Amino acid sequence: MTLLITVAAVSIGVVLGVPLVVGLRAKNFLVRLVSRGLVDLIRGIPAIVWLFIIYFGVSIGAFRFDSTMAAIVGLGLISAAYFAEIYRGGISAVDMGQWEAGNALGVNRWTTFAQIVGPQAFRVSVPSMTSYAISLLKDSSIASTIGVTEIVFFTTQDARSNDGGLTVYILAAAIYLALSVPLALLARRLDASLRKKVSR
Amino acid sequence: MVPESNLPKQMVSLRGVSKSYGDKNVFSNIDLDVAAGEVTAIIGPSGAGKSTLLRCINLLELPDEGQITIGDKTIKAGSTATNKEGEELRRKAGMVFQHFNLFPHMNVLRNVSFAQERVLKRSRKDAEERSRLLLDRVGLADFADAYPARCSGGQQQRIAIARALAMDPEVMLFDEPTSALDPEVGLEVLAVMRELADEGMTMIVVTHETNFARDVSDNLIVMADGKIIEQGDPGQILSDPEHERTKLFLRAVLGR
Amino acid sequence: MSVIADWIEWLPALAGGLWLSVRITAVSLIVGLPIGLLLAVMASSQNRMARTVSVVIVEIGRGAPALVVLQLFYFGLPSVGITLSSFVAAGSALALTTAAFTSEILRAGLQAVPPGEVEACKTLGVSPRDTLRFVVIPQGLRIALPALMGFSILIFQATSLTFTIAVPELLSQAYSIGATTFNYLSVLVLAGLLYAMITIPASWLVVSTEKKMSRHLSYAR
């Protein structure tokens, strides 16, 4: 379940981050302001508070999120905001000269972005993206607070019923470690191979 | 045969010194002597190993083979020389770096006084007095309260010289002191170095400044490809070198 | 406009919770940062034992989610005889997390100090300890400052997790009010805004500090 939530949330974040970063870089001042406000607000409020708002707070008519959906939506939104920032950093890291070259060749702004700047920005962003994904894996533990049946949820149940609890929590911590460390190594390998592609 | 005890006292001696990085051999079996009060200049093309050799003298780099002597202290490479002994050797030499390496978060006075207080255990008052004296000597008496960032490159380098002198070294090592400076600005620094030489300081200078080498140094060493290819009187070598490599190098340097 | 009226009514309770959140943040930082600095120094030391111990603590502190550490301290420790109050458990758990994360930030800061200066210290005969104390750490701290500030904001946000170990901080207050009035949305949104009120200006401060620092750190060469 932990993995499901993490993967779902990351996917949402990766996708939704794009319109957000476009908004951040828009020519229109108002659009920029709204995007900036949205991103800052989402990142400024703790994840658990967002999850609570979505899970406990949202009741449109008869519709209410179930805990898993709430977790995915909430973490997905938060990821989107973080990814938007990462993308923004990636785009500004791409040398100005690339934009100018595209311009000089007569390519329009949108295509320049899609074919020239975008891919390079993406490559630069990958390390930050993977490290964020790994930290999201740990943050998914927060979903337990709204009843999602993931690792910490079971841990807490177990601890309460067996009224000893140290070993169980250590076990939980160990599981998270066991998940995140190999992922971190994988991420490093991915980064290295991407870097090889770019170096001449 | 001249008996050993009659030879002039060598301030710095290197015997059979070699250094490699991995498979790359930088230099091997170098012998070098610098007498007290003598100024030795080391010139040569980049990558010849000049800086590395200089840095081996005060053990910033550890030589793989050979022995280094400064004054009465000798360290053999690869021996069980303790860190303490290495530090004692290092203390006899003062070093001036190409990029100055001043401490940006301390003002000029503190830069020069800091090591005096912590290492030589001088009182703050004594250390600052000595620092001001030295700053005056290098022509920067008014800069005591300024921060390095506000000083030009030439001024920073002169401060670095004062900082090294504050420790009362027996020999001063200069690693391309003017290479990071504009030629005009470099002259200030060279002037200070010249004065230092006139006062009798033993100096070993790795440099590209052939004029300095000719006018100030007593002994010139030309290094190329990890070997000393020529050494001797500066005036002689610079006007009429023996080795082909030296000729090539000088043509490029002087013929600009 | 009963929403505003409600909000005004709830504000005192929430403000009390907010203040507690701030206090927990302060405790975590005050305890955690020095430990983080110690771990950072150990991580770059020549001594292999020091390095290993530091790496292990840091990896565990960073690998385990804050929530798990919090619950471990509060629910788990009693089973080995150590019972902590929720405030103490919260403070120490977050201090551990702080130490682990800031050690990496500080380590990067310490390494960013130009190595040439360390060499200069060597040639001047300055002891390694003095070099650390007077040259490397002062500059390293300055370099790491923006990142440390950014991290402090994250720890402040993390105090919301202490809700699960019965700390009556901001979120907890909001939740109780929600539970009694059944109007979760309104009070939770208010709580969220209160968090944002602190975190958003704080991150502007971080950005401006970063700009000021980069002006200072580029010196004439």
Nearest to B159 by CA among B134, B122, B128, B179: B134
Sign of CA dihedral C180, C184, C188, C189: negative
Inter-chain CB proximity C196 and A163 less than 8 Å: no
**Predicted local distance difference test score (pLDDT) of residue B171:** 93
Helix or strand (DSSP H, E) at C216? helix C184-217
Which residue do the tokens 């830069």 mark? B111
**Predicted local distance difference test score (pLDDT) of residue B126:** 92
Q: What is the pTM assigned to this prediction?
A: 0.81
What is the identity of the amino acid at A7?
A: V
When scoring A168, A169, A170, A185 by the number of chain C Cβ atoms within 10 A, the one with the most, hence best to mutate, is A169
C173 neighbors C143 (Cβ within 8 angstroms): no
Strands B73-76 and B65-70: antiparallel
**Predicted local distance difference test score (pLDDT) of residue C63:** 82
> Please, do chains A and B touch (3+ CB pairs < 8 Å)?
no
pLDDT exceeds cutoff 80 at A169? no
- The whole-number average pLDDT for the span A55-65 is 70
Average pLDDT by stretches of 10, chain C with 221 residues: 76 87 93 93 86 87 84 80 84 92 91 92 90 93 90 91 85 83 83 90 90 65 35
**Predicted local distance difference test score (pLDDT) of residue A198:** 59
pLDDT, tens digit, for every residue of A133-148? 888 888 887 777 676 6
Nearest-by-CA chain A residue for C150: A44
Nearest to C162 by CA among C17, C33, C13, C61: C17
Give percent of chain A with pLDDT exceeding 70: 80
Q: How far is B240 from chain C (nearest CA, A)?
A: 37
Q: Is B29 left (phi over 0), alpha (psi -120 to 50) or beta?
A: left
Inter-chain CB proximity C124 and B156 less than 8 Å: no
pLDDT exceeds cutoff 90 at A181? no
| Integer Cα distance of B18 and B31 in angstroms | 10
Q: Which residues pair with B171 in a beta bridge?
A: B93, B202
Inter-chain CB proximity B91 and C135 less than 8 Å: no
What are the start-end ranges of the H helices in chain A? 2-24, 29-44, 47-52, 67-93, 96-104, 109-111, 118-139, 151-162, 166-198
Neighbours of C48 (CB within 10 A): 8
Across the interface, which of C161, C191, C195 has its CB nearest the CB of A142? C161
Cα B181 to Cα B141, B150, B157, B189, distances in angstroms = 21, 16, 9, 9
B-C CB pairs within 8 A amount to 68
A59 phi and psi, to 5 degrees?
A: -140, 90
Helix axis angle for C2-43 and C86-111, nearest 10°, is: 50
pLDDT, tens digit, for every residue of A48-58? 888 888 887 77
Across the interface, which of B115, B153, B160 has its CB nearest the CB of C220? B153
Quote the distance between the C-alpha of residue B45 and its chain's center.
18
What's the pLDDT band for B2 if we cut at 50, 70, 90?
A: very low
Inter-chain CB proximity A57 and C184 less than 8 Å: yes
Q: How far is B164 from chain C (nearest CA, A)?
A: 7
Nearest-by-CA chain C residue for B117: C126
Kindly report which listed range (A191-195, B32-36, B250-254) carries the lowest average pLDDT score. Answer: A191-195
| Integer Cα distance of C191 and C178 in angstroms | 11
Nearest to C153 by CA among C92, C214, C211, C201: C201
More confident residue, A59 or C86: C86
Residues 6+ apart with CB under 8 A from B234: B41, B213, B214, B217, B218, B219, B220
pLDDT, tens digit, for every residue of B146-198? 999 899 999 999 999 999 999 999 999 999 999 999 888 888 899 999 999 99
Which residue do the tokens 């000089």 mark? A104
Maximum distance among all alpha carbons in chain B? 57
C184: chain A residues, CB-CB within 8 Å: 52-53, 56-57
C67: its two tokens: 């929530």
A-C CB pairs within 8 A amount to 128
Kindly report which listed range (A118-122, A178-182, C20-24, C118-122) carries the lowest average pLDDT score. Answer: A178-182
Kindly report which listed range (A5-9, A71-75, B85-89) carries the lowest average pLDDT score. Answer: B85-89
Which residue do the tokens 């391309």 mark? B176
| Integer Cα distance of C23 and C17 in angstroms | 10
Inter-chain CB proximity C63 and A138 less than 8 Å: yes
Across the interface, which of A44, A59, A155 has its CB nearest the CB of C195? A44
Per-residue burial over C83-110, b if 16 or more Cβ lie within 10 Å, else e, is: ebebbebbbbbbbbbbbbbbbbbbbebb
C137: chain B residues, CB-CB within 8 Å: none
Nearest-by-CA chain A residue for C185: A57
Domains in chain C, ordered, with CATH? Answer: 2-215 (1.10.3720.10)
**Predicted local distance difference test score (pLDDT) of residue C178:** 81
What's the pLDDT band for B27 if we cut at 50, 70, 90?
A: confident
Nearest-by-CA chain B residue for C138: B105
Q: How far is A168 from chain C (nearest CA, A)?
A: 8
C67 neighbors C109 (Cβ within 8 angstroms): no
pLDDT exceeds cutoff 90 at B205? yes
Inter-chain CB proximity B167 and C138 less than 8 Å: no
Domains in chain A, ordered, with CATH? Answer: 2-197 (1.10.3720.10)
Residue C127 in contact with partner chain B when CB distance is under 8 A:
yes
**Predicted local distance difference test score (pLDDT) of residue C220:** 39
More confident residue, C26 or A95: C26
pLDDT exceeds cutoff 80 at A59? no
Inter-chain CB proximity C199 and A45 less than 8 Å: yes
**Predicted local distance difference test score (pLDDT) of residue A200:** 44
What is the identity of the amino acid at B174?
A: F
Neighbours of chain A (3+ CB pairs under 8 A): C
What's the pLDDT band for A152 if we cut at 50, 70, 90?
A: low
- The whole-number average pLDDT for the span A162-170 is 64
pLDDT exceeds cutoff 80 at A175? no
**Predicted local distance difference test score (pLDDT) of residue B6:** 46
**Predicted local distance difference test score (pLDDT) of residue C151:** 92
When scoring B56, B60, B118, B185 by the number of chain C Cβ atoms within 10 A, the one with the most, hence best to mutate, is B118
C134: chain B residues, CB-CB within 8 Å: 114, 118
Across the interface, which of B90, B114, B160 has its CB nearest the CB of C122? B90
C122: its two tokens: 């060597």
Cα B109 to Cα B130, B147, C211, distances in angstroms = 10, 9, 28
Across the interface, which of A45, A57, A160 has its CB nearest the CB of C196? A45
Neighbours of B49 (CB within 10 A): 23
Based on the number of CB atoms within 10 Å of its own CB, is C32 exposed (0-12), middle (13-18) or buried (19 or more)?
buried
What is the identity of the amino acid at A178?
A: A
Residues 6+ apart with CB under 8 A from A59: C185
Residue C221 in contact with partner chain B when CB distance is under 8 A:
yes
Inter-chain CB proximity C220 and B151 less than 8 Å: yes
